[in-house]
Amino acid sequence: MKENQKTYWKGIEQLTNDAEFVKKNESEFPEYLPISEQGGETNNRRDFLKLMGFGVAAATLAACEAPVRKAIPYLNKPVDVDPSVPNYYASTYVNGGDAVSVVVKTREGRPIKVEGNKYSTITKGGTNAQVEASVLSLYDKERLTNPLKEGAEIDWETLDREVTAKLADIAAKGGQIRIVSNTVLSPTTKKAVAEFVAKYPTAQHVSYDPVSAYGITEGNKRSFGEAMIPSYDFSKAKTIVSVGADFLGTWISPIEFSKQYAQTRKINEHHREMSRHYQFESNLSLTGANADYRTPIKPSQVGPLVAAMYNAIAAKAGQPKVSGGSVSADHLNAAANELWANRGQSLLVCGSNDPAVQVLVNGINSMLGNYGTTINANAPVHYRQGDDMAMANLAKDLNAGRIAGLIFFNCNPLYNSAEASALAAGVAKATLTVSTSDRLDETASAVQYVAPDHHYLEQWNDAELRSGYISLTQPTISPLFKTRQAPESFLKWAGQDVEYYTYLQNNWRETYFAKQSDISNFQMFWDKALYDGVVDFGTTAKNLNYDFAAAATAATSIGQNYKSAGSGLELALYEKIGIGDGSLANNPWLQEMPDPVTKATWDNYLTISIAQANELGIEMKEGETQLVSLTVGGSTIEVPALVQPGQAEGTVGLAIGYGRTKAGRVANGVGVNAYPFITKLNGANTMDVLAGVSVAATGKPYRIAQTQTHQTYMGRENVIQESVLTEYKKDTKAGRVYPKIYKDGKYYKPSKITLWSGHEYNNHHWGMTIDMNSCTGCSACTVACQAENNIPVVGKEEVLNRREMAWIRIDRYYSAANPAGNKKELEQAAANPEVTFQPMMCQHCNNAPCETVCPVAATTHSTEGLNQMTYNRCIGTRYCANNCPYKVRRFNWFKYHDNTQFDKNSSMNNDLGKMVLNPDVTVRARGVMEKCSMCVQRIQAGKLAAKREGRRPVDGEINTACASACPSDAITFGDLNDPNSKISQLLQIEEKKEGEKVTERVVNEDRAYHVLEELNVNPNVWYMTKIRNKDKETTEA
Amino acid sequence: MVARKTIVRYATACLLVCCFVFSGQQSFAQRDAVPTDEAIIAEGEKLFNEYQCNSCHNVVGKKVGPALAGVYDRRDLDWIYSWVKNSQAMIAAGDPQATALWNEYKPSAMTPYDLENDQILAIMAYVRNVEENPPADKNTVTGGGEEGPAGGSGVPESYLNIIVAALIVVLVLILIVLAIIIGVLKKYLQDKENISEEDKEIVNEKFSLVAFVKSPTVIGIVTFLVIALAAKNVIDGLYTIGVQQGYAPKQPIAFSHKLHAGEYEIACQYCHTGVEIGKSANIPSVNICMNCHSSIKTDSPEIQKLYAAQESGEPIEWVRIHNLPDLAYFNHSQHVKVGGVECQTCHGEIQEMEVVKQHAPLTMGWCIDCHRNTSLNTQGNGYYDRLVELHNQNSATPMNVADIGGLECAKCHY
């Protein structure tokens, strides 16, 4: 066992040990907190007495007559809806080119929570932040309630009549019609669009994606003759190399990849093997943060680096080398050697959208024999099939006046495409423009007709996520507004008066029912498909041969395009985990979700390296930074700078998805729009700007609402316990720290010196383990918790005041071996630090410090191990928060519901938004404390279900929102008293008995530890040490 | 095949006609076919209640449907079986008895039940038992409450009264004794010659009521008592804020529980469908009312309101009587299904109420009292087995709700 000598820091200010920072951290909040927002005059004692007197009188008077409340039952109760009993429906989350099989929880016919579908062979029950948050978007007040013509409401008949007439007119004159959409995943919708095209033969369907994967489809076309994106299986990979692909966060199918990746990171004393992950990237992405070896590279090095990798592998495989590839990067040779050593069990992925680079990547994987093992080209996925070339042509044609009819089908290209400005200029030239957007967004406000589509929770549909794998969407609520499903609109305009549900069923009868032979009755087949939510027909194997001639051509192209390497500043655009491409930007849960790496909310910003910050004279403290002017290819914007450890030298990063102008109240004006910086490379959209980038300081101060430094451990050790695999192989206790308490000349285990008599848990003993080795920091748990527990959104100002309300936060620690004394050392330490994520929520201490200090016993311990928080008893002294060593208690500084000052908290401030609230959880009032309850409402419901059936609850039946959302199965919740539960087995709990009675339960898992064990608060949450697959325990900067 | 079916049908029809004709002679044979075995009767009673036959049928006397007594005399057993399973099919097939029944009771149709012949026979056994051994007291038929509501607190009130009375007697005795002592002492001093001026003053002091009343001590005591009493009243009053015990608002429809639950003995769960599955017991939706009222008392103005609701599509806005604060979570199924608590325990004698009123105070103290004193219904519930075992190792008293954490905050507040 070796003491951990690393320096851990949460933000640059902590690393530099800034005096102001230290001072601020001694108090819970940074400065005097303005409570009285209006006026600001101080209240004196007399005012208090007056108010007090009035309050008592008013309360007494008001109480004389209790309000008459109504109980309104259904008129005709639906058979399967029972008030207060939740129903669950399998469905499919669809947003642009992304789709996830989900299960929707409804109460009294309202969807209130989205969870993953465990029957899905792709996502296996996992979700991400966007899927979890999508339910709030259903109740977005900004959604259109009616079809529109030139901004005025019209009815559907008029719209249909006019649109059909105009279409007929255009068709008669031989004018061109275009349907523009993001990737359409639904085979039935595609069929409906095809019928529309058949009716109007001049129509063409053009699809694009805000974040394009055209380079991959095109690369595969050049390599194998087939434009597709294969499916990947990270779980079979021993060596994973990613060049700029954020596959755990945003790339192609992140939930699926997180599940697979996490499988390779699960270790225990019997299985001391894990995958090794190399990451080469410019911005510190979520995936890079999880890598064992991360090398910062400039975007201009991507092409040459892949070429170098190709040559290294080709040399081993006996294939001809290609030109280019003169680049040196740390770990490049090691990565190539390991890829080769584990050929057939390795995987190289690349986030570049340059088809030439993807051709070489395919070449490398082919030479490694990864096709058939970690890559399945026979089961291509259907996400992100957009065609960048077609989109560019469309913009050209439109501006040349060659397009007469233009239908924007659930997309917003005037905001989120590379052709946004060209389309905006040309849209008026078409004689008919229609949008099916759900809101008056940037595109919909520029067209003549808006025919708003249903939200995915209101519609029938299907989605083919992977060849042969189809997921059904079923409505979980009747349409809230006068909207109509877009494919039904297409059918209507094509002259077919058919309900889309019928159309869908007919298509399924003809296409999929015929495909199978297990079920002979269509209704039964349909019912089963609906119940499961997914049908997997599998695919047939094809023979794909890599065309090595394509590699040589690609290498030449790379040689030409990546010349500027090494010279000027480069810009790497990226997607944030929460906001993504910006289509869900009006969702306050996503806006307030701290970015896993920067911990910033409510903004995008230019991520700059610390060296560059020093150059620009920017010092970042507590989110206080400067606006810088960013010039890209002649256009200049002002954007706040954020000092990002791990940012590659000579690069800056900027997130897309912000700077919305017409998304709605929540998103408008948040951040800057980075889409205009998307350029073309080899015909494909590229997020990398390789030249013409410059940054200048403006000196204007700006504050970014970061949560990272809000709670500090005052330099205590043992919070993060980690080691490397080589050490773990020798000793399963590697990285563990065992604090000892000194007493009377001897050192004791903290639990041996205690004032506490302990608790007896006869019934259940709920506990949780968090495997820091598989936690990727994706923050799905944070949003899941927010949805489940009615957690308010407080807005940017309040986050700056350190008053965010999240019950579960993901602490992100940077660490480096070298100490940071002076600026030079600091630059070194922050150049490429290691990153550790630690989800932190109420630890449900058995010796809880909060419980003993509450003067009114509002927080107490239950006989099931829970630390209970009773809002109606709390008087708001906040002693508990002061005494909590984990800083997980949250205080309601304001009334966040029904308060116009918090109108961004849209789930509590309008009748529509309130429909998302979980009726089983209290909406907390001003002045009370709250914190993680371990989803006590779910525990109670699960126990009750078991009691009604006269049995004990089955393990897994009761699960917390965070654990069930987790795509990497890092969080395990269960009953420690049940020896067969997963958690008991993970912790290897050994029951010590006296006769029949269990007197003690001992945790034998060496990796399991309590954060701040020396305090002996004895939490019910265990963390498992982080093990990195590194050779030695140092960071190579 | 078709021919064979037709023959069978004709044969059945003939048989039925014969049955009809010779029903007089067959009556006793039929009745005797209904078993009198205790176990079967018990089974029948269970089924009778489970399937809520009593919602529409009485054993003796007409209800929504005909009286069940003697049905085995009137009808053939096979006829009864097929009638219970699917009466509409029989009517559609033109069965004369079925048609006659339909004409008499329409539009109320006999609900089809998925019962086995044995089960139907068992129900008839129960009906025969009730018919032949009419219960002495009506309450015993309904089954009543096996266990009444939980008893009072630990010390009965009468004991307290006795203690208080005894204390008062003791006080009065002490006063008398004191008065006697004062009298004796005064007399002694008066008899004495050489007493000081001071003592004389005391001896000759005259009791002045005015002075006594005006004395600061008395004023002080009286003021204190007045303030204390006022404060007590105010505090007591404040405690009742929001307590709506006895609240009996006028409802949009003058629905009588006395008639439905009392007189007709319709099971509570027939209308309050959620009581065993969820948090809410559910106020019945109009379609449940219409199960009976599509044909019963159709011209009553109150029932007309149901039709009006049905017509307009506007649900009926009942006035909510039992209002728990939002911060308290209460689940009916926990108490009724798991705990086996009778509805009347919390809702009072609902079957006697013409207008429903709030029986219990629904205060936290009231909840807690019951949780402290109610022993758990753990019989046959696997959830509790280990808990009961552990409890019995350490305690001689039966396990009550408080023993397994029933007083903890997060059982009701989250």
Which chain B residues are Cβ-neighbours of A871 within 8 angstroms? 327, 413
Å from B312 to nearest chain A CA? 10
> Is residue A347 helix, strand or coil?
strand
What is the separation of C-alpha A496 from the centre of its chain, rounded to a whole number of angstroms?
39
Q: What band does A683 get if pLDDT is binned at 50, 70 and 90?
A: confident
> Nearest CB to A70: which of B314, B320, B329?
B320
**CA separation (Å) from B87 to A82, A146, A698, A865, B72?**
29, 49, 87, 56, 17
Chain A residues in contact with B414 (beta carbon < 8 A): 868, 920-922, 933, 936-937, 940
Instruction: Tell me what the mean pLDDT of segment B262-269 comes to.
Output: 90
B-contacting residues in A 750-779 (Cβ below 8 Å): 762-763
Other beta carbons within 10 angstroms of residue A696's beta carbon come to 11
**Cis? peptide before B325, omega within 30° of 0:** no
What's the pLDDT score for residue B145?
36
A864–B405 CB contact, under 8 Å: yes
Q: CA of B273: which chain A residue's CA is closest?
A: A82
The ranges assigned to domains in chain B are: 2-142, 159-234, 363-414
Indicate the burial class of B325 (C-beta count within 10 angstroms; 0-12, 13-18, 19 or more): exposed
- Of the residues A65, A85, A897, A978, the best mutation for testing chain B's interface (the one with the most B CB atoms within 10 Å of its CB) is A85
pLDDT of A711 > 80? The answer is: no
Question: Structure pTM?
Answer: 0.83
- Enumerate the β-bridge partners of residue A997: A994
How many Å apart are CA A789 and CA A112, to the nearest integer? 11
Nearest-neighbour CA in chain A from B337: distance (Å): 6
Best of A84, A108, A938, A957 to mutate (most B CBs within 10 Å, chain B)? A84
User: Which candidate in A65, A851, A922, A994 is best for mutational testing of the B interface (most B CBs within 10 A)?
Assistant: A922
Q: What percent of chain B has pLDDT over 90?
A: 32
Say which of A923, A933, A947 has its CB closest to residue B383: A947
Is 70 exceeded by the pLDDT of residue A1034? no
Note whether A818 and A9 are within 8 A (CB): no
Q: Point out the residue among B279, B285, B337 whose CB comes nearest to the CB of A77.
A: B285
Task: Tell which wins on pLDDT, B54 or A71.
Answer: A71
Q: Is A75 on the interface with B (CB under 8 A)?
A: yes
Chain A neighbors of B331, CB-CB under 8 A: 944
- The answer, yes or no, to whether residue A929 has pLDDT greater than 80, is yes
pLDDT at A3 over 50: no
Under an 8 A CB cutoff, do B380 and A71 touch?
A: no
Place of tokens 């107490």: A860
Give which of A61, A65, A70 to mutate to test B binding, by max B Cβ within 10 Å.
A70
Closest to A810 (Cα-Cα) out of A579, A574, A586, A971: A971
CA angle A709, A715, A719 (to 5 degrees): 85
Instruction: Give the nearest partner residue to B249 out of A68, A83, A870, using CB atoms.
Output: A68
pLDDT at A129 over 70: yes
Structure tokens at B360: 């219990």
Q: Do B314 and A75 touch (CB under 8 A)?
A: yes
Distances (CA, A) of A735 to A266, A294, A728, A1004, B248: 16, 21, 8, 16, 68
Between strands A679-681 and A651-655, the pairing is unpaired
Using CB atoms, which residue from B319, B337, B409 is nearest to A70?
B319
What per-residue confidence (pLDDT) applies to A896? Answer: 93
Q: Per-residue pLDDT for A77 more than 90?
A: no
Bigger pLDDT: B1 vs A857: A857
pLDDT over threshold 70, residue A191: yes
Q: Are A162 and A449 in contact (CB under 8 A)?
A: yes
| C-alpha distance from A919 to closest chain B C-alpha (Å) | 9
Please give the residue that has the higher pLDDT: either A889 or B201. Answer: A889
The partner residue sitting opposite B277, judged by closest CB among A82, A921, A940, is: A82
B286 with A76: Cβ contact below 8 A: yes
Is the pLDDT assigned to residue A341 strictly greater than 80? yes
Q: What is the pLDDT of residue B220?
A: 94
Residues A306 and A361: beta-carbon distance below 8 Å: yes
Strand intervals (E) in A314-398: 346-350, 375-381
Q: A73 and B327 in contact by Cβ < 8 A? A: no
Alpha carbons A404 and A402: distance in angstroms, whole number: 7
Position A40 scores a pLDDT of 43
Determine the distance in angstroms separating the CA of B287 from the nearest CA of chain A, rounded to an integer. Answer: 5
CA nearest B283 in A: which residue? A73
Question: Which residues of chain B make contact with A947, given a CB cutoff of 8 A?
Answer: 334, 338, 381, 383-384
Cα B252 to Cα B9, B197, B310, B348: the distances in Å are: 52, 84, 15, 22
What does the alpha-carbon distance between residue A645 and residue B99 come to, in Å, rounded to a whole number? 87
Contact (CB<8Å) B323/A69: yes
pLDDT digits (tens, 9 = 90+) for B273-310: 999 999 999 899 999 998 889 888 888 999 999 999 98
Taking alpha carbons only, the member of A198, A88, A106, A554 closest to residue A361 is: A554
pLDDT class for B126, splitting at 50, 70, 90? confident
Q: Across residues A937-943, what is the average pLDDT?
A: 94
Comparing CB atoms, the residue among A72, A75, A866 nearest residue B313 is A75
CATH of domain B2-142: 1.10.760.10
ipTM surpasses 0.90: no
B148: left (phi over 0), alpha (psi -120 to 50) or beta: beta
pLDDT digits (tens, 9 = 90+) for A7-64: 777 776 666 666 666 666 555 555 555 554 444 445 566 676 777 776 666 666 555 5
Provide mean pLDDT across the span A800-813: 91
What is the arithmetic mean of pLDDT over B70-76?
Answer: 82
**Tokens 């307290």 found at:** B160
User: Do A921 and B414 contact (CB within 8 A), yes or no?
Assistant: yes
- Comparing A490-494, A703-707, B61-65, B314-318, which segment has the lowest mean pLDDT? B61-65
Residue type, A368: L
For residue A833, what pLDDT is reported? 86
Q: Provide the shortest C-alpha distance from residue A890 to chain B (in Å).
A: 15
Radius of gyration of chain B (CA): 35
A891/A328: higher pLDDT: A891
CB proximity under 8 Å: A 887-946 to B:
920-923, 933, 936-937, 940, 943-944, 946
Contact assignment for A944 to B331 by CB distance below 8 Å:
yes
Task: Write the DSSP symbol of residue A351.
Answer: -
Q: Once rounded to an integer, what is the mean pLDDT over residues B193-213?
A: 75
Q: Do residues A628 and A616 lie in contact, with contact meaning Cβ atoms separated by under 8 Å?
A: yes
Q: Which of the listed ranges A14-18, A175-179, A617-621 does the model predict with the highest average pLDDT?
A: A175-179
Is the CB of A872 inside 8 Å of chain B's CB atoms?
Answer: yes
- Mean pLDDT over all residues of chain A? 88
* Domains contained in chain A, CATH given: 7-25+711-1028 (3.30.70.20), 148-212+386-536 (3.40.50.740), 214-380 (3.40.228.10), 568-706 (2.40.40.20)
So what's the pLDDT on residue A31? 52
Nearest chain B Cα distance for residue A48, angstroms: 21
Give A-chain residues touching B310 at CB under 8 angstroms.
Answer: 75
Whether the pLDDT of residue B380 is over 90: the answer is no
A190 — pLDDT class (breaks 50, 70, 90):
very high
Question: Is A951 an interface residue toward B (CB < 8 Å)?
Answer: yes
Closest Cα in chain A, distance from residue B37 (Å): 30
B283 and A71 within 8 Å at the Cβ level: the answer is yes
Answer yes or no: are the C-beta atoms of B320 and B308 closer than 8 Å.
no
Q: What is the 3-state secondary structure (H, E, C) of A402-464?
A: CEEEEEEECCCHHHHCCCHHHHHHHHHHCCEEEECCCECCCCHHHCCEECCCCCHHHCCEEEE
**How big is the A-B interface in CB pairs under 8 Å?**
154
Highest mean pLDDT among A991-1005, B12-26, B225-239: B225-239
How much of chain A is helix, strand and coil, in % rounded to 5?
30, 25, 45
With CA atoms as reference, the chain A residue closest to B243 would be A66
- Is A425 an 8 Å CB contact of chain B? no
Q: Do the Cβ atoms of A943 and B381 come within 8 Å?
A: no
pLDDT band (50, 70, 90) for residue A115: very high
Residue A70 sits at the chain B interface (C-beta within 8 Å) = yes
Nearest residue, CB atoms, A922 vs list B278, B326, B405? B326
Distance CA A781, CA A961 (A): 7
Mean pLDDT score of chain B, rounded to an integer? Answer: 82
Residues of A in contact with B279 (CB under 8 A): 83-85
What does the DSSP assignment read for A206-247?
EE--SS--HHHHHHHHHHHS---EEEE-GGG-SEEEEES--T
